[in-house]
Amino acid sequence: MNFSRRFRASVSALLGVASAAAVTVGGVLAATAPAAAQEPPGPPLRNVKYTVFAEQPFYVDIYYRDVDPPNWAAYSHNPYSFSPKAKAQIGPDQQWNLDVQLADPDQWAMVTATSGPGEAKPNIHCVLAVDGVVVATDQGPKGALCSIRSW
């Protein structure tokens, strides 16, 4: 067998091995692609609007939910990590408003405001709207809680 025929046979054998390796690697890469890239997107986010005001000017503490906790266990382990606190001066002409986006407002939308200890009774009001529709209101002399959750 002459050199050129052996060379062509060697090259042909190498190309066959390289081709088989490429197919194998391609198959392995395709099989190990991250599953997250193939998952459908989550539920659509819904607009939640929180409004707090009072009949008398007053500083209040406001707790609200601005993200969906990943599950009940995570929330119940530390609810305050999912419920930021704001301090705001409110009154009849001074509202505190916040728009957030939640995937499950029926479960997680919530706003509460309190005037704290003391004799003052500013008569606090809250309003919770989802996608532009008011779904909960409350009022009380020293605080109010707006939520649509079932628990």
3-57 pLDDT, tens digit per residue, is 445 545 444 544 454 444 444 444 444 445 555 555 567 789 999 999 999 999 9
Distance CA 67, CA 102 (A): 6
- For the stretch 71-94, pLDDT in tens is 999 999 999 899 999 999 999 999
Distance CA 19, CA 13 (A): 10
CB 125 within 8 A of CB 79: no
pTM of the model: 0.71
Cβ neighbour number for residue 44 with a 10 Å cutoff: 7
Which parts of the chain fold into alpha helices (H)?
3-31, 72-77, 105-108
